[in-house]
Structure 1
Amino acid sequence: MDFQYRLQNLWSLAGRPSCPPLLAMASRMQMAALTCLSLLLLWSQVPGAQGQKFQFGPCQVKGVLPQKLWEAFWAVKDTMQAQDNITSVRLLRQEVLQNVSAAESCYLVHTLLEFYLKTVFKNYHDRTVEVRTLKSFSTLANNFVLIVSQLQPSQENEMFAIRDSAHRRFLLFRRAFKQLDMEAALTKALGEVDVLLTWMQKFYKF
């Protein structure tokens, strides 16, 4: 359930308490204070109300919930994976995502999500209208944009080895993508979004 809707429900159930007037009875003031405190405690327990974030090494991303990403992908999963007829090829294989260090993660996720935005989503847009999945793809794309906008990989010289390692991982992904014809590559990349989300979720902190 949407966080804002839940919060509004809690407030409604509590009778929308407000600060009592100065001449109100002390017992009424105490009751209002306790009600407000209870609401704050309930609010703090609602998922997404506190400081959950993606922590990709030194890079933080706030305002994106993995659940929203998964819901958008699940809505198109069967359609996309059913169209993937090349089962012998994997784009996001172990060499790309396995044992990625925290320092590398910021560079790698930035590069991968930019590729999805500029190449995958952009070139598949017309097809999303045909198969009626535009809303789900828009949700994924908008959240990817939000994540990328908050990532600021360091460009310092001493980070060169880390950047280079992350870039080599990305090149493995891109090389496998380019070895397929465009239609097949786009379908496979979208069908592997669950692999990408599973890896990204390892960096989600509560």
Structure 2
Amino acid sequence: MLSSAIAGFIASAVLIIAIGAQNAFVLRQGLRREHVLPVVLTCALSDLALISAGIAGLGAVLNAHPALITAIRWAGAAFLLGYAVLAARRAVRPSSMEAAARTPTTLRATLLTCLALTYLNPHVYLDTVLLLGSVAQQHPDRWAFGLGAAGASLTWFFSLGLGARWLAPVLARPAAWRVLDGSIAVVMAVLGVTLIVQA
């Protein structure tokens, strides 16, 4: 059981730590110190649900209906490109960026964005549901593997969201926020274009 849990932790950590739309959003919320705990919990609980679905067999259902993955891919690409445009606008126009930094976002809007970045990302289904679900089936205790994978997710999102405050002094200057938003715009745009090319 312990070996399965450790394997799940490692497999999930390898997949989740790569910078992506969800991680960039969690980092930005952590730096703004706005709704960090709800965002972190939403991401971690979503991963728990998706990992559980993969272990329970949702991966087989998705494999049987490739059109569903294609639809999610197009919706995800549209959302990511839209988010890239907003981030690029903040980076290019400091006045709008500074106003956005000062204006708090409602919890509802923040969580809706977080959920969209999570569930409109086809990679979450390919990596979390299909890949982790398939790997879990190879272990004697697949649910222990799932708990380990969920533990890695929880550890990562808490570290990213709550640890972002240590970067706050570095990002105290508006120019640093422009670089961050520019980087987020590039990541989102690349992910969005990649989804279109793969569709």
Q: Taking structure 1 as the reference length, what is the TM-score of the superposition?
A: 0.29
**Larger RCO: 1 or 2 (CA < 8 Å, sep 6+):** 2
Q: Which has the higher strand share?
A: 1
Q: Which has the higher helix share?
A: 2
Structure label with greater radius of gyration: 1
Q: Taking structure 2 as the reference length, what is the TM-score of the superposition?
A: 0.30
